[in-house]
A and B are shown apart, each in its own frame.
Chain A
Amino acid sequence: MNVLNSYRTGPDERGHFGIHGGRFVAETLMPNILALDEAYRVARADPAFQAEMDGYLAHYVGRPSPIYFAERLTEHLGGAKIYLKREELNHTGSHKVNNVLGQILLARRMGKKRIIAETGAGQHGVATATLCARFGLECVVYMGAVDVERQKPNVFRMKMLGASVVPVTSGSRTLKDAMNEALRDWVTNVDDTFYCIGTVAGPHPYPAMVRDFQSIIGRETRAQLMEMEGRGPDSLIAAVGGGSNAIGLFHEFLDDPDVEIFGVEAAGHGISSGQHAASITGGKPGVLHGNRTYLLMDGDGQIAEAHSISAGLDYPGIGPEHSYLHDVKRVTYLPCTDSEALAGFQLLAKLEGIIPALECAHAIGKVMEIAPTKAKDHLMVVNLSGRGDKDIFTVAEHLGGQV
């Protein structure tokens, strides 16, 4: 085993991926973080925990999610053979449920009765509210006031499921502020509360743990493509906000040197406009929300307000493992503007009869650019991480009300 040549060994035991990651939290939270680290270590090694996960993944979530050959999209773009990994067909409508299931089962093992979560687009909030309903746990979801407004369908879903949704009015009133508020709640309610983070960010062990729960996406992809094509993919592409759906697809293939990997960041109105959410393309390393990673900020280290048409990508940071994969040049991170994402959204709806979430519409936006440059026997897998029902109002507004 040549460990030095692997991209899959991180993080180290203190949570570092290269210079990124770590545990930058207030002392009040440290005992909880260490207890979580220990509980996850024990659970991961326990076959009963995995068996419990597998049962719910199969019968409640509906895994494995299908992989689908997007024939008309492939034909239209005239290059790579495009496969969609259909995470939007999971129960609750996105990949988020894979991680939430793992964390909620862990919270139960730890005896925690109250679950808090932050959410941007509301997909993580809905998944958390769903599993809290299933297991009879109290659920409080923090959501930026701006996002509450633009993702109303998900707010109703969370409330229907019995969760309290707390609109956050501080700062930019989006995902970053929701995370601040969730951390403030956790620091106040340390004893009974489990913080269910929705992406591969935050203090160690969250980035590694959430990645582990999402890595099922890549493992299934390998097996499914093997069955359909007799071989693995040539390229992978996924949208990156915090980056949980992307790392979920990528991790399995990081040590396959012939697999090209693309992460797509939200470029909002364009990188040069300054109004975007592309932390790697337009940011620098800094420390926020418990980890070091690429962040959008000014020269004084003040965090900038991100902009994206997609509430789920509207965050000025990115998971630390992605920052590492960028530093070592294993993954290529590309910016995709609001209008490119809207084009991807419409194209997939019209050609394949699939309305994607605005988040993964960013990946489609870049597929439109990259697929035509590839040979016809090139196998490209796109993570279709969520369904777009929640976004129809936003899209209608941007297209001048003409749905």
Chain B
Amino acid sequence: MTSSHPTRIAARFASLAAEGRPGLVTFITAGDPDGVTSLDILKALPGAGADLIEVGVPFTDPMADGPAIQAAGLRALKAGQTLAKTLAMVAQFRAGDAATPVILMGYYNPIYVYGVDRFLADARAAGVDGLIIVDLPPEEDEELCLPALKAGLDFIRLATPTTDDKRLPAVLRHTAGFVYYVSITGITGAATPDAGRVSQAVARIKQHTDLPVAVGFGVKTPEQAAAIAAGADAVVVGSALVEAVRASLDETGAATPRTVSDVVQLVQGLAAAVRGVARAA
């Protein structure tokens, strides 16, 4: 929170609080199944009810992801996606939407190879608001977290069930925008989280920070999303969207007329459920 005016992420969480409801964060993999379709999906997400958007940066070796997101990344890479194309895609989205926060999520190597300073300048220019980099724990803050904060990008840290009270302050120390609570010990799209335990964990994190807490990993259905959102500031759904993309493809793996509309329909259902969660004022 070094900048004088609120970031898009802070503004969005403030308006969610004013509306008295939790937010829906949706994840898609950039370039899946191809660049054009992926941009169409991205553009359609806010209208379908996504409050914040995570754009997955494809990587060949996504060691914290389950089969659905692994496969999405490989589809995108096969179609020629690169980090430069992902930044260009965000810039095209940003030209038509000045308010919806966009967070890039992925692994460090593509950014490291692109060059940290060049990446931060280009990401900021493209309209990226925040970064979630799975393989950069606080122990490696000097790599990207501190330069990103300096460049005016939020660095959103993952807190997990294994992050105990002793470690939590270190994890939260340079976190900005919101805290992403990983609801399970495991990979994306795996086990279903227990809503009761998740809300206890969120309460524990909130004893250490004023930042909003979003919860993700393993949330697939509108019912699960509503249950998790009831105990958090936002809920993240990723593998289910990526799975909807996959299910819509033809036998050659190409997009069909259903691809965008199937994802939109899924997000509408999730958004309706999440928006139905009233906050006890």
Taking Cβ atoms with an 8 Å cutoff, the residues of A that contact B are: 14, 22-32, 170-171, 176-177, 180, 183-184, 187-191, 284, 286-290, 292, 295, 297, 299-303
Contacts and interface: CB of A to CB of B under 8 A. Distances in A.
Contact of B63 (A31, A183, A191, A300): A183
29 contacts: A22-B140, A23-B137, A24-B108, A24-B135, A25-B137, A26-B63, A26-B137, A26-B160, A27-B162, A27-B171, A28-B186, A30-B163, A170-B67, A171-B61, A176-B61, A184-B187, A187-B63, A287-B107, A287-B112, A288-B109, A289-B61, A289-B63, A292-B112, A299-B113, A301-B83, A301-B111, A301-B113, A301-B114, A303-B109
B185 interface: yes
Given A183-B63, A286-B113, A301-B114, 7 more contacts: A31-B164, A180-B63, A190-B162, A286-B109, A287-B135, A295-B109, A303-B60
Interface string B47-67: 000000000001111111011
Contacts of A177: 61
Interface string B151-181: 0000001111111100100010000000000
Nearest to B190: A188
Interface in B65-123: 66-67, 70, 74, 77, 82-84, 107-114
Contacts of B84: 300
Contacts of A23: 137, 139-140
A190 B185 contact: yes
A25 B135 contact: yes
Interface of B: 58-64, 66-67, 70, 74, 77, 82-84, 107-114, 134-140, 157-164, 167, 171, 182, 185-187, 190-191
A30 B163 CA distance: 8
Contacts of A191: 185
Nearest to B81: A300
Nearest to A14: B139
A67 B67 CA distance: 47
Contacts of A30: 137-139, 162-163, 167
A302 B135 contact: no
A233 B163 CA distance: 49
A300 B110 contact: yes
B163 A287 contact: no
B167 A301 contact: no
A25 B191 CA distance: 20
A40 B216 CA distance: 33
B158 A27 contact: yes
Contacts of B62: 180
A27 B160 contact: yes
Contact of B134 (A26, A288, A295): A26
B162 A32 contact: yes
A123 B138 CA distance: 35
Contacts of A176: 61
B187 A188 contact: yes
Nearest to B184: A188
A287 to B, nearest CB: 5
Nearest to A180: B63
B185 A27 contact: no
A308 B61 CA distance: 20
